[in-house]
Structure 1
Amino acid sequence: MAYDYKESKKRVDEILYSKTEIVTKDVIPSSDSEFTYSNGIKSWVGAIFVDMVGSSDLCNTADEKTARIFRSFCSEIIAIMKEDLNYRQIGIRGDCVYSINTAHYRSDLVDMFDTAVLINTFMGMFRKQLENKGYAPVKAGIGLGCSEDLIIKAGQSGSGINDKIWIGKAVVEASKLGDKANRNGIQPIAMSTLFYDNVHENLEKRDERYKTWIEPHSDMIYSIYNTRPDFYHCDLVKTGFSDWINNNV
Protein backbone atom coordinates (compact mmCIF):
# COMPACT_ATOMS: atom_id res chain seq x y z
CA MET A 1 0.00 0.00 0.00
CA ALA A 2 1.19 3.51 -0.87
CA TYR A 3 -0.88 5.34 1.76
CA ASP A 4 1.15 8.35 2.93
CA TYR A 5 0.40 8.87 6.62
CA LYS A 6 2.45 12.07 6.73
CA GLU A 7 0.29 13.62 4.01
CA SER A 8 -2.75 12.26 5.87
CA LYS A 9 -1.77 14.23 8.97
CA LYS A 10 -1.49 17.41 6.88
CA ARG A 11 -4.92 16.88 5.30
CA VAL A 12 -6.60 16.25 8.64
CA ASP A 13 -4.95 19.32 10.21
CA GLU A 14 -6.06 21.47 7.26
CA ILE A 15 -9.66 20.36 7.70
CA LEU A 16 -9.66 20.69 11.50
CA TYR A 17 -8.24 24.21 11.40
CA SER A 18 -10.28 25.41 8.41
CA LYS A 19 -13.35 27.64 8.70
CA THR A 20 -16.76 26.27 7.72
CA GLU A 21 -19.34 28.82 6.67
CA ILE A 22 -22.78 27.72 7.95
CA VAL A 23 -25.70 29.24 6.03
CA THR A 24 -29.34 28.80 7.10
CA LYS A 25 -31.73 28.40 4.16
CA ASP A 26 -35.48 27.92 3.90
CA VAL A 27 -35.09 25.29 1.20
CA ILE A 28 -32.25 22.81 0.71
CA PRO A 29 -30.63 23.58 -2.66
CA SER A 30 -31.32 21.03 -5.36
CA SER A 31 -27.98 21.73 -7.05
CA ASP A 32 -24.88 20.02 -5.66
CA SER A 33 -22.82 22.99 -6.85
CA GLU A 34 -24.01 24.99 -3.83
CA PHE A 35 -22.27 22.54 -1.49
CA THR A 36 -18.51 22.89 -1.08
CA TYR A 37 -15.86 21.48 1.23
CA SER A 38 -15.82 24.75 3.16
CA ASN A 39 -19.53 25.42 3.73
CA GLY A 40 -22.57 23.86 5.35
CA ILE A 41 -26.28 24.52 4.92
CA LYS A 42 -28.74 24.40 7.80
CA SER A 43 -32.36 23.73 6.94
CA TRP A 44 -35.42 21.69 7.86
CA VAL A 45 -35.17 18.11 6.66
CA GLY A 46 -37.70 15.30 6.39
CA ALA A 47 -36.65 11.68 5.98
CA ILE A 48 -38.48 8.48 5.08
CA PHE A 49 -36.87 5.05 5.38
CA VAL A 50 -38.54 1.91 4.01
CA ASP A 51 -37.01 -1.22 5.49
CA MET A 52 -37.73 -4.70 4.16
CA VAL A 53 -38.84 -6.84 7.11
CA GLY A 54 -37.22 -10.27 7.37
CA SER A 55 -34.72 -9.68 4.58
CA SER A 56 -32.10 -11.72 6.46
CA ASP A 57 -34.20 -14.84 5.99
CA LEU A 58 -34.74 -13.96 2.34
CA CYS A 59 -30.99 -13.64 1.81
CA ASN A 60 -30.47 -17.22 3.03
CA THR A 61 -31.52 -18.24 -0.48
CA ALA A 62 -29.39 -15.95 -2.64
CA ASP A 63 -30.85 -16.98 -5.97
CA GLU A 64 -32.65 -15.52 -8.99
CA LYS A 65 -35.96 -15.22 -7.10
CA THR A 66 -34.32 -13.20 -4.34
CA ALA A 67 -32.74 -10.88 -6.90
CA ARG A 68 -36.14 -10.30 -8.53
CA ILE A 69 -37.77 -9.50 -5.18
CA PHE A 70 -35.11 -6.98 -4.17
CA ARG A 71 -35.04 -5.32 -7.60
CA SER A 72 -38.82 -4.92 -7.86
CA PHE A 73 -39.08 -3.71 -4.24
CA CYS A 74 -36.41 -1.03 -4.74
CA SER A 75 -37.67 -0.03 -8.19
CA GLU A 76 -41.23 0.77 -7.10
CA ILE A 77 -40.39 2.37 -3.75
CA ILE A 78 -38.05 4.74 -5.60
CA ALA A 79 -40.74 5.44 -8.23
CA ILE A 80 -43.16 6.46 -5.47
CA MET A 81 -40.59 8.58 -3.62
CA LYS A 82 -39.68 10.48 -6.80
CA GLU A 83 -43.26 11.73 -7.12
CA ASP A 84 -42.49 14.18 -4.30
CA LEU A 85 -40.34 16.83 -5.98
CA ASN A 86 -39.00 17.98 -2.59
CA TYR A 87 -36.62 15.01 -2.45
CA ARG A 88 -32.95 15.92 -2.31
CA GLN A 89 -31.46 12.46 -2.03
CA ILE A 90 -32.92 9.03 -2.74
CA GLY A 91 -30.82 5.98 -2.14
CA ILE A 92 -30.53 2.33 -1.14
CA ARG A 93 -28.83 1.28 2.07
CA GLY A 94 -28.70 -2.50 2.32
CA ASP A 95 -32.31 -3.69 2.30
CA CYS A 96 -33.65 -0.18 2.92
CA VAL A 97 -34.76 2.49 0.44
CA TYR A 98 -34.72 6.07 1.72
CA SER A 99 -35.60 9.59 0.68
CA ILE A 100 -34.33 12.78 2.31
CA ASN A 101 -36.41 15.86 1.51
CA THR A 102 -36.39 19.59 2.02
CA ALA A 103 -39.21 20.42 4.44
CA HIS A 104 -39.61 24.17 4.97
CA TYR A 105 -43.40 23.96 5.33
CA ARG A 106 -45.54 21.63 7.41
CA SER A 107 -47.36 20.75 4.21
CA ASP A 108 -44.07 19.30 2.92
CA LEU A 109 -44.10 16.83 5.82
CA VAL A 110 -47.78 16.05 5.16
CA ASP A 111 -46.74 15.16 1.59
CA MET A 112 -44.11 12.80 3.03
CA PHE A 113 -46.75 11.20 5.23
CA ASP A 114 -48.93 10.69 2.14
CA THR A 115 -45.93 9.08 0.43
CA ALA A 116 -45.62 6.67 3.36
CA VAL A 117 -49.32 5.77 3.06
CA LEU A 118 -48.93 5.19 -0.68
CA ILE A 119 -45.91 2.94 -0.08
CA ASN A 120 -47.87 1.00 2.54
CA THR A 121 -50.68 0.51 0.01
CA PHE A 122 -48.22 -0.60 -2.68
CA MET A 123 -46.84 -3.22 -0.29
CA GLY A 124 -50.31 -4.81 -0.21
CA MET A 125 -50.16 -5.20 -3.99
CA PHE A 126 -46.55 -6.37 -3.92
CA ARG A 127 -47.34 -9.11 -1.39
CA LYS A 128 -50.20 -10.40 -3.55
CA GLN A 129 -48.02 -10.34 -6.66
CA LEU A 130 -45.32 -12.35 -4.88
CA GLU A 131 -47.87 -14.87 -3.62
CA ASN A 132 -49.32 -15.22 -7.14
CA LYS A 133 -45.82 -16.13 -8.36
CA GLY A 134 -45.32 -18.62 -5.55
CA TYR A 135 -42.77 -16.41 -3.78
CA ALA A 136 -42.67 -15.81 -0.06
CA PRO A 137 -44.41 -12.49 0.76
CA VAL A 138 -42.46 -9.64 2.32
CA LYS A 139 -43.42 -6.74 4.58
CA ALA A 140 -41.99 -3.26 4.99
CA GLY A 141 -41.42 -1.01 7.98
CA ILE A 142 -41.75 2.69 7.12
CA GLY A 143 -40.06 5.28 9.34
CA LEU A 144 -40.57 9.07 9.23
CA GLY A 145 -38.46 11.74 10.93
CA CYS A 146 -37.77 15.46 10.70
CA SER A 147 -35.49 18.08 12.27
CA GLU A 148 -33.47 21.18 11.48
CA ASP A 149 -30.25 19.62 10.23
CA LEU A 150 -26.82 20.64 9.04
CA ILE A 151 -25.95 19.36 5.56
CA ILE A 152 -22.31 19.21 4.50
CA LYS A 153 -20.36 17.87 1.57
CA ALA A 154 -17.77 15.30 2.64
CA GLY A 155 -15.21 13.16 0.86
CA GLN A 156 -11.70 13.65 -0.46
CA SER A 157 -11.26 16.89 -2.35
CA GLY A 158 -10.21 16.32 -5.94
CA SER A 159 -10.91 12.58 -5.87
CA GLY A 160 -14.45 12.75 -7.22
CA ILE A 161 -15.55 10.61 -4.27
CA ASN A 162 -17.93 12.62 -2.11
CA ASP A 163 -21.45 12.71 -0.73
CA LYS A 164 -23.69 14.83 1.46
CA ILE A 165 -23.86 14.11 5.18
CA TRP A 166 -27.07 14.95 7.03
CA ILE A 167 -26.16 15.92 10.59
CA GLY A 168 -29.19 15.91 12.88
CA LYS A 169 -32.09 13.74 14.04
CA ALA A 170 -34.20 13.40 10.89
CA VAL A 171 -32.26 10.62 9.18
CA VAL A 172 -31.30 8.84 12.41
CA GLU A 173 -34.87 8.72 13.73
CA ALA A 174 -36.43 7.73 10.40
CA SER A 175 -33.90 4.91 10.04
CA LYS A 176 -34.50 3.62 13.58
CA LEU A 177 -38.28 3.78 13.20
CA GLY A 178 -38.15 2.00 9.84
CA ASP A 179 -36.28 -0.78 11.64
CA LYS A 180 -39.02 -0.99 14.31
CA ALA A 181 -42.16 -0.58 12.20
CA ASN A 182 -44.27 -3.61 11.24
CA ARG A 183 -42.67 -5.72 13.97
CA ASN A 184 -43.64 -6.74 17.51
CA GLY A 185 -47.12 -5.22 17.37
CA ILE A 186 -45.94 -1.89 15.90
CA GLN A 187 -47.90 -0.81 12.83
CA PRO A 188 -46.26 -0.41 9.38
CA ILE A 189 -45.86 3.40 9.47
CA ALA A 190 -43.98 4.88 12.44
CA MET A 191 -43.13 8.56 12.88
CA SER A 192 -41.15 10.55 15.42
CA THR A 193 -43.05 12.72 17.90
CA LEU A 194 -41.71 15.86 16.20
CA PHE A 195 -42.91 14.64 12.81
CA TYR A 196 -46.36 13.89 14.28
CA ASP A 197 -46.50 17.30 15.98
CA ASN A 198 -45.99 18.96 12.60
CA VAL A 199 -48.54 16.97 10.59
CA HIS A 200 -51.46 15.90 12.77
CA GLU A 201 -53.38 19.21 12.71
CA ASN A 202 -53.31 19.38 8.91
CA LEU A 203 -54.35 15.74 8.67
CA GLU A 204 -57.19 16.18 11.18
CA LYS A 205 -58.50 19.15 9.17
CA ARG A 206 -58.64 16.77 6.23
CA ASP A 207 -60.47 14.11 8.28
CA GLU A 208 -61.08 14.07 12.04
CA ARG A 209 -60.65 10.29 12.08
CA TYR A 210 -56.88 10.79 11.90
CA LYS A 211 -57.13 11.45 15.67
CA THR A 212 -57.83 7.75 16.14
CA TRP A 213 -56.13 6.38 13.04
CA ILE A 214 -52.70 7.49 14.28
CA GLU A 215 -51.85 6.03 17.67
CA PRO A 216 -49.19 6.91 20.25
CA HIS A 217 -46.67 4.24 21.23
CA SER A 218 -44.83 4.25 24.54
CA ASP A 219 -42.16 1.91 25.81
CA MET A 220 -43.61 0.51 29.04
CA ILE A 221 -40.17 0.53 30.66
CA TYR A 222 -39.85 4.28 30.37
CA SER A 223 -43.47 5.46 30.15
CA ILE A 224 -43.63 6.14 33.92
CA TYR A 225 -40.95 8.79 33.57
CA ASN A 226 -41.88 10.18 30.16
CA THR A 227 -45.25 11.85 29.54
CA ARG A 228 -44.75 11.95 25.74
CA PRO A 229 -45.04 8.87 23.53
CA ASP A 230 -41.81 7.47 22.09
CA PHE A 231 -43.34 7.72 18.61
CA TYR A 232 -46.65 7.46 16.74
CA HIS A 233 -47.73 4.71 14.37
CA CYS A 234 -50.54 3.73 12.01
CA ASP A 235 -51.58 1.34 9.26
CA LEU A 236 -53.28 3.48 6.63
CA VAL A 237 -53.77 2.87 2.91
CA LYS A 238 -55.07 4.78 -0.11
CA THR A 239 -58.65 3.54 -0.39
CA GLY A 240 -59.01 3.71 -4.18
CA PHE A 241 -55.68 1.99 -4.78
CA SER A 242 -56.41 -0.65 -2.11
CA ASP A 243 -59.84 -1.43 -3.60
CA TRP A 244 -58.27 -1.77 -7.05
CA ILE A 245 -55.70 -4.23 -5.66
CA ASN A 246 -58.45 -6.36 -4.09
CA ASN A 247 -60.34 -6.55 -7.39
CA ASN A 248 -57.50 -6.81 -9.90
CA VAL A 249 -54.41 -8.50 -8.42
Structure 2
Amino acid sequence: METKITNSYAVADSNTRIKEILDSSESFEELNSIPGREKLTYSNGFYVNCTSVFIDIRDSSQLPQKHTRPVLGKIYRSYLSECVAVMNSDPNCREIIITGDSVHGIMNTPLQSHINMAFSTAARLNSLVMILNWRLEQKGYTTIRCGIGIDYGRALMMKAGYKGSGLNDVIWMGDVVNQASKLCHQGNKEIRKPLQVSACIYDNLNEHNKNLLSPVYGGLGLSPMHYEGDVINIEMNDWLEKEKGNDRLINLLTASLTTPSLGLLARKPKHWI
Protein backbone atom coordinates (compact mmCIF):
# COMPACT_ATOMS: atom_id res chain seq x y z
CA MET A 1 0.00 0.00 0.00
CA GLU A 2 1.22 3.51 -0.73
CA THR A 3 1.79 5.83 2.24
CA LYS A 4 -0.20 9.05 2.17
CA ILE A 5 0.81 11.26 5.09
CA THR A 6 3.95 11.03 7.18
CA ASN A 7 3.10 11.34 10.87
CA SER A 8 5.42 11.04 13.84
CA TYR A 9 5.16 7.76 15.75
CA ALA A 10 4.04 8.07 19.37
CA VAL A 11 4.57 5.11 21.66
CA ALA A 12 1.64 6.01 23.93
CA ASP A 13 -0.74 6.27 20.98
CA SER A 14 0.53 2.98 19.63
CA ASN A 15 -0.06 1.32 22.99
CA THR A 16 -3.63 2.65 23.04
CA ARG A 17 -4.33 1.23 19.58
CA ILE A 18 -2.88 -2.16 20.55
CA LYS A 19 -5.04 -2.35 23.68
CA GLU A 20 -8.12 -1.25 21.71
CA ILE A 21 -7.63 -4.03 19.18
CA LEU A 22 -6.83 -6.74 21.75
CA ASP A 23 -9.74 -5.76 24.02
CA SER A 24 -12.30 -5.52 21.21
CA SER A 25 -15.07 -8.08 20.77
CA GLU A 26 -14.33 -8.84 17.14
CA SER A 27 -16.66 -11.14 15.23
CA PHE A 28 -15.55 -13.52 12.51
CA GLU A 29 -18.56 -14.85 10.64
CA GLU A 30 -18.30 -18.14 8.75
CA LEU A 31 -19.49 -18.02 5.13
CA ASN A 32 -19.46 -20.44 2.21
CA SER A 33 -18.65 -17.72 -0.32
CA ILE A 34 -16.69 -14.45 -0.40
CA PRO A 35 -18.60 -11.27 0.57
CA GLY A 36 -17.91 -7.82 -0.86
CA ARG A 37 -14.98 -5.79 0.48
CA GLU A 38 -17.37 -3.07 1.62
CA LYS A 39 -18.65 -5.37 4.40
CA LEU A 40 -15.26 -5.38 6.11
CA THR A 41 -14.46 -3.10 9.05
CA TYR A 42 -11.57 -2.93 11.53
CA SER A 43 -13.62 -4.97 14.00
CA ASN A 44 -14.87 -7.89 11.91
CA GLY A 45 -13.74 -10.51 9.43
CA PHE A 46 -15.00 -13.54 7.57
CA TYR A 47 -13.98 -17.18 7.40
CA VAL A 48 -14.74 -18.13 3.80
CA ASN A 49 -14.37 -21.10 1.48
CA CYS A 50 -12.20 -20.22 -1.50
CA THR A 51 -9.65 -21.48 -4.00
CA SER A 52 -6.15 -20.08 -3.84
CA VAL A 53 -3.97 -19.98 -6.99
CA PHE A 54 -0.28 -19.03 -6.95
CA ILE A 55 2.27 -18.61 -9.73
CA ASP A 56 5.89 -17.52 -9.43
CA ILE A 57 9.15 -17.71 -11.37
CA ARG A 58 11.71 -20.42 -10.59
CA ASP A 59 15.26 -19.21 -9.94
CA SER A 60 14.25 -15.59 -10.51
CA SER A 61 17.26 -14.46 -8.43
CA GLN A 62 19.50 -15.50 -11.33
CA LEU A 63 17.83 -13.22 -13.89
CA PRO A 64 19.68 -10.04 -12.78
CA GLN A 65 22.96 -11.81 -13.63
CA LYS A 66 21.81 -12.37 -17.21
CA HIS A 67 20.08 -9.13 -18.18
CA THR A 68 20.35 -5.39 -17.74
CA ARG A 69 17.82 -3.62 -15.53
CA PRO A 70 15.77 -2.27 -18.47
CA VAL A 71 15.44 -5.78 -19.91
CA LEU A 72 14.55 -7.20 -16.49
CA GLY A 73 11.85 -4.57 -16.18
CA LYS A 74 10.37 -5.64 -19.52
CA ILE A 75 10.41 -9.32 -18.58
CA TYR A 76 8.78 -8.79 -15.19
CA ARG A 77 6.27 -6.25 -16.48
CA SER A 78 5.07 -8.52 -19.30
CA TYR A 79 4.93 -11.57 -17.01
CA LEU A 80 3.03 -9.78 -14.23
CA SER A 81 0.71 -7.96 -16.62
CA GLU A 82 -0.51 -11.13 -18.29
CA CYS A 83 -0.68 -13.28 -15.16
CA VAL A 84 -3.03 -10.67 -13.72
CA ALA A 85 -4.98 -10.60 -17.01
CA VAL A 86 -5.45 -14.40 -16.98
CA MET A 87 -6.55 -14.50 -13.34
CA ASN A 88 -8.83 -11.50 -13.77
CA SER A 89 -10.55 -13.25 -16.70
CA ASP A 90 -11.86 -15.88 -14.29
CA PRO A 91 -15.38 -14.63 -13.38
CA ASN A 92 -14.93 -16.03 -9.87
CA CYS A 93 -11.70 -14.17 -9.12
CA ARG A 94 -12.15 -11.79 -6.18
CA GLU A 95 -8.60 -10.72 -5.27
CA ILE A 96 -5.22 -10.58 -7.00
CA ILE A 97 -2.11 -9.93 -4.94
CA ILE A 98 1.36 -9.29 -6.42
CA THR A 99 4.40 -9.86 -4.21
CA GLY A 100 7.69 -9.72 -6.08
CA ASP A 101 7.35 -12.18 -8.97
CA SER A 102 4.53 -14.08 -7.22
CA VAL A 103 0.95 -13.52 -8.33
CA HIS A 104 -1.77 -14.83 -6.03
CA GLY A 105 -5.43 -15.13 -6.96
CA ILE A 106 -8.36 -15.73 -4.59
CA MET A 107 -11.31 -17.41 -6.31
CA ASN A 108 -14.87 -17.58 -5.01
CA THR A 109 -15.67 -21.26 -5.56
CA PRO A 110 -18.74 -22.45 -3.62
CA LEU A 111 -19.56 -24.97 -6.38
CA GLN A 112 -17.51 -27.79 -7.91
CA SER A 113 -17.94 -26.20 -11.33
CA HIS A 114 -16.20 -23.09 -9.96
CA ILE A 115 -13.26 -25.19 -8.76
CA ASN A 116 -12.96 -26.69 -12.24
CA MET A 117 -12.91 -23.15 -13.65
CA ALA A 118 -10.08 -22.23 -11.26
CA PHE A 119 -8.20 -25.32 -12.47
CA SER A 120 -8.68 -24.12 -16.05
CA THR A 121 -7.31 -20.73 -15.04
CA ALA A 122 -4.20 -22.46 -13.70
CA ALA A 123 -3.83 -24.26 -17.05
CA ARG A 124 -4.12 -20.92 -18.89
CA LEU A 125 -1.32 -19.55 -16.72
CA ASN A 126 0.84 -22.48 -17.82
CA SER A 127 0.04 -21.76 -21.48
CA LEU A 128 0.76 -18.07 -20.92
CA VAL A 129 4.31 -18.90 -19.82
CA MET A 130 4.81 -20.79 -23.10
CA ILE A 131 3.65 -17.75 -25.11
CA LEU A 132 5.84 -15.40 -23.09
CA ASN A 133 8.88 -17.66 -23.55
CA TRP A 134 8.32 -17.67 -27.32
CA ARG A 135 8.41 -13.87 -27.31
CA LEU A 136 11.44 -13.82 -25.00
CA GLU A 137 13.33 -16.16 -27.34
CA GLN A 138 12.57 -13.88 -30.27
CA LYS A 139 14.22 -10.99 -28.41
CA GLY A 140 17.20 -13.10 -27.37
CA TYR A 141 16.20 -12.95 -23.70
CA THR A 142 16.38 -15.75 -21.14
CA THR A 143 13.22 -17.86 -20.93
CA ILE A 144 11.56 -18.45 -17.57
CA ARG A 145 10.17 -21.46 -15.72
CA CYS A 146 7.19 -21.06 -13.40
CA GLY A 147 5.55 -23.08 -10.70
CA ILE A 148 1.78 -23.01 -10.21
CA GLY A 149 0.00 -24.15 -7.05
CA ILE A 150 -3.72 -24.48 -6.34
CA ASP A 151 -5.66 -25.45 -3.22
CA TYR A 152 -9.20 -25.17 -1.83
CA GLY A 153 -10.15 -24.52 1.77
CA ARG A 154 -11.01 -21.96 4.41
CA ALA A 155 -9.34 -18.55 4.70
CA LEU A 156 -9.72 -15.62 7.05
CA MET A 157 -10.59 -12.46 5.13
CA MET A 158 -10.04 -9.29 7.11
CA LYS A 159 -9.26 -5.59 6.80
CA ALA A 160 -5.89 -4.61 8.23
CA GLY A 161 -3.88 -1.43 8.43
CA TYR A 162 -3.49 1.81 10.34
CA LYS A 163 -6.98 2.94 11.37
CA GLY A 164 -7.81 6.51 10.42
CA SER A 165 -4.86 6.86 8.04
CA GLY A 166 -6.41 5.44 4.90
CA LEU A 167 -3.58 2.88 4.88
CA ASN A 168 -5.33 -0.48 4.80
CA ASP A 169 -5.84 -3.54 2.68
CA VAL A 170 -7.71 -6.83 2.67
CA ILE A 171 -5.52 -9.69 3.80
CA TRP A 172 -6.06 -13.43 3.42
CA MET A 173 -4.76 -15.93 5.95
CA GLY A 174 -5.15 -19.66 6.44
CA ASP A 175 -3.97 -23.10 5.41
CA VAL A 176 -5.47 -22.76 1.93
CA VAL A 177 -3.18 -19.79 1.20
CA ASN A 178 -0.12 -21.41 2.77
CA GLN A 179 -0.65 -24.75 1.04
CA ALA A 180 -1.18 -23.21 -2.41
CA SER A 181 2.01 -21.21 -1.94
CA LYS A 182 3.98 -24.32 -0.90
CA LEU A 183 2.64 -26.27 -3.90
CA CYS A 184 3.60 -23.38 -6.17
CA HIS A 185 7.20 -23.50 -4.90
CA GLN A 186 7.36 -27.22 -5.80
CA GLY A 187 6.17 -26.64 -9.37
CA ASN A 188 8.85 -26.96 -12.07
CA LYS A 189 11.48 -27.78 -9.42
CA GLU A 190 13.75 -30.72 -10.27
CA ILE A 191 11.47 -33.52 -11.55
CA ARG A 192 8.19 -31.86 -10.56
CA LYS A 193 5.76 -30.68 -13.25
CA PRO A 194 4.63 -27.04 -13.50
CA LEU A 195 1.13 -27.43 -12.02
CA GLN A 196 0.85 -28.76 -8.46
CA VAL A 197 -2.68 -29.53 -7.26
CA SER A 198 -3.87 -30.33 -3.73
CA ALA A 199 -5.80 -33.51 -3.00
CA CYS A 200 -8.84 -31.42 -2.09
CA ILE A 201 -8.85 -29.72 -5.50
CA TYR A 202 -8.32 -33.07 -7.22
CA ASP A 203 -11.30 -34.63 -5.42
CA ASN A 204 -13.55 -31.83 -6.72
CA LEU A 205 -12.45 -32.00 -10.36
CA ASN A 206 -14.47 -33.64 -13.12
CA GLU A 207 -13.15 -36.91 -14.60
CA HIS A 208 -11.62 -35.20 -17.64
CA ASN A 209 -9.54 -32.86 -15.49
CA LYS A 210 -8.57 -35.64 -13.07
CA ASN A 211 -7.17 -37.65 -15.98
CA LEU A 212 -4.80 -34.77 -16.80
CA LEU A 213 -3.00 -35.23 -13.48
CA SER A 214 -0.75 -37.84 -11.90
CA PRO A 215 -0.26 -38.53 -8.17
CA VAL A 216 2.74 -37.38 -6.15
CA TYR A 217 3.52 -39.80 -3.32
CA GLY A 218 5.22 -39.13 -0.01
CA GLY A 219 8.03 -41.07 1.63
CA LEU A 220 5.94 -44.12 2.53
CA GLY A 221 4.11 -44.10 -0.80
CA LEU A 222 0.82 -45.25 0.72
CA SER A 223 -1.41 -42.51 -0.67
CA PRO A 224 -0.88 -39.41 -2.84
CA MET A 225 0.20 -36.24 -1.03
CA HIS A 226 -1.06 -34.18 -3.95
CA TYR A 227 -1.23 -34.28 -7.76
CA GLU A 228 0.64 -32.67 -10.62
CA GLY A 229 0.52 -32.13 -14.36
CA ASP A 230 1.79 -30.12 -17.31
CA VAL A 231 -1.72 -29.00 -18.22
CA ILE A 232 -2.27 -26.38 -20.94
CA ASN A 233 -5.19 -24.55 -22.53
CA ILE A 234 -5.96 -26.03 -25.98
CA GLU A 235 -7.12 -22.76 -27.54
CA MET A 236 -4.02 -20.88 -26.38
CA ASN A 237 -1.76 -23.71 -27.50
CA ASP A 238 -3.38 -23.84 -30.95
CA TRP A 239 -2.95 -20.06 -31.29
CA LEU A 240 0.73 -20.33 -30.34
CA GLU A 241 1.42 -23.14 -32.82
CA LYS A 242 -0.33 -21.19 -35.59
CA GLU A 243 1.70 -18.05 -34.84
CA LYS A 244 4.94 -20.05 -34.76
CA GLY A 245 4.02 -21.56 -38.14
CA ASN A 246 3.33 -18.11 -39.59
CA ASP A 247 6.69 -16.91 -38.31
CA ARG A 248 8.50 -19.87 -39.88
CA LEU A 249 6.79 -19.18 -43.21
CA ILE A 250 7.76 -15.51 -43.09
CA ASN A 251 11.35 -16.43 -42.26
CA LEU A 252 11.50 -18.88 -45.19
CA LEU A 253 10.12 -16.28 -47.59
CA THR A 254 12.53 -13.66 -46.30
CA ALA A 255 15.44 -16.06 -46.65
CA SER A 256 14.46 -16.95 -50.24
CA LEU A 257 14.35 -13.28 -51.22
CA THR A 258 17.78 -12.58 -49.78
CA THR A 259 19.55 -15.72 -51.12
CA PRO A 260 22.37 -14.81 -53.61
CA SER A 261 21.63 -15.66 -57.26
CA LEU A 262 25.10 -17.27 -57.75
CA GLY A 263 25.60 -15.27 -60.98
CA LEU A 264 22.80 -16.95 -62.90
CA LEU A 265 20.51 -14.97 -65.20
CA ALA A 266 17.56 -16.16 -67.28
CA ARG A 267 18.22 -15.64 -71.04
CA LYS A 268 15.75 -13.45 -72.86
CA PRO A 269 14.13 -15.00 -75.93
CA LYS A 270 15.14 -13.59 -79.30
CA HIS A 271 11.61 -13.30 -80.56
CA TRP A 272 8.38 -12.45 -78.79
CA ILE A 273 5.18 -14.13 -79.89
What is the CA deviation profile of residues 211-231 of structure 1, one whole-angstrom value per residue up to 9, with x for unaligned ones? 4421111233xx26xx43222
How far apart, in 2, do the equivalents of 1:228 and 1:154 lie?
Answer: 39
Return the TM-score normalized by structure 2. 0.82
Which residue number corresponds to residue 261 of structure 2?
none
In the alignment, residue 48 of structure 2 is paired with which amino acid?
S
Asked if residue 9 in structure 1 is aligned to residue 4 in structure 2, the reply is no
How far apart, in 1, do the equivalents of 2:86 and 2:210 lie?
Answer: 26
In the alignment, residue 245 of structure 1 is paired with which amino acid?
L
- What is the aligned counterpart of 2:131 among 125, 134, 137? 125
Alignment of 1:116-155 (within 5 A): 116-155=122-161
Structure 1 residue 107, shift from structure 2 partner: 1.4
In the alignment, residue 239 of structure 1 is paired with which amino acid?
I
Alignment of 1:1-249 (within 5 A): 2-30=8-36, 32-60=37-65, 61-199=67-205, 202=206, 204=207, 207=208, 210-220=209-219, 223=220, 227-249=222-244
Decide whether the 8 Å contact of 2:202 with 2:210 is kept in 1.
Answer: no
In the alignment, residue 190 of structure 2 is paired with which amino acid?
N
Structure 1 residue 62, shift from structure 2 partner: 4.4
How far apart, in 2, do the equivalents of 1:157 and 1:150 lie?
Answer: 19
In the alignment, residue 244 of structure 1 is paired with which amino acid?
W
In the alignment, residue 166 of structure 2 is paired with which amino acid?
G
How far apart, in 2, do the equivalents of 1:231 and 1:138 lie?
Answer: 24
Structure 1 residue 19, shift from structure 2 partner: 0.7
Structure 1 residue 93, shift from structure 2 partner: 0.7
Task: Report percent identity of matched pairs.
Answer: 34
Decide whether the 8 Å contact of 1:152 with 1:165 is kept in 2.
Answer: yes
Structure 1 gap segments, 5+ residues each = none
How far apart, in 2, do the equivalents of 1:68 and 1:2 lie?
Answer: 38
Which structure has the bigger radius of gyration? 2
SS in 2 for 1:236: coil
Structure 2 gap segments, 5+ residues each = 1-6, 245-273
In the alignment, residue 217 of structure 1 is paired with which amino acid?
V
SS in 2 for 1:230: strand
In the alignment, residue 95 of structure 2 is paired with which amino acid?
Q
How far apart, in 1, do the equivalents of 2:128 and 2:13 lie?
Answer: 51
In the alignment, residue 35 of structure 2 is paired with which amino acid?
P
CA RMSD of aligned residues (A): 1.7
In the alignment, residue 29 of structure 2 is paired with which amino acid?
V
Structure 1 residue 73, shift from structure 2 partner: 0.4
Structure 1 residue 96, shift from structure 2 partner: 0.9
Decide whether the 8 Å contact of 2:51 with 2:152 is kept in 1.
Answer: yes
How far apart, in 2, do the equivalents of 1:149 and 1:48 lie?
Answer: 13
Decide whether the 8 Å contact of 1:146 with 1:169 is kept in 2.
Answer: no
SS in 2 for 1:59: helix
SS in 1 for 2:204: helix
How far apart, in 2, do the equivalents of 1:137 and 1:2 lie?
Answer: 46
Decide whether the 8 Å contact of 1:88 with 1:100 is kept in 2.
Answer: yes
Q: Runs of 4 or more off by more than 4 Å in structure 1? A: none
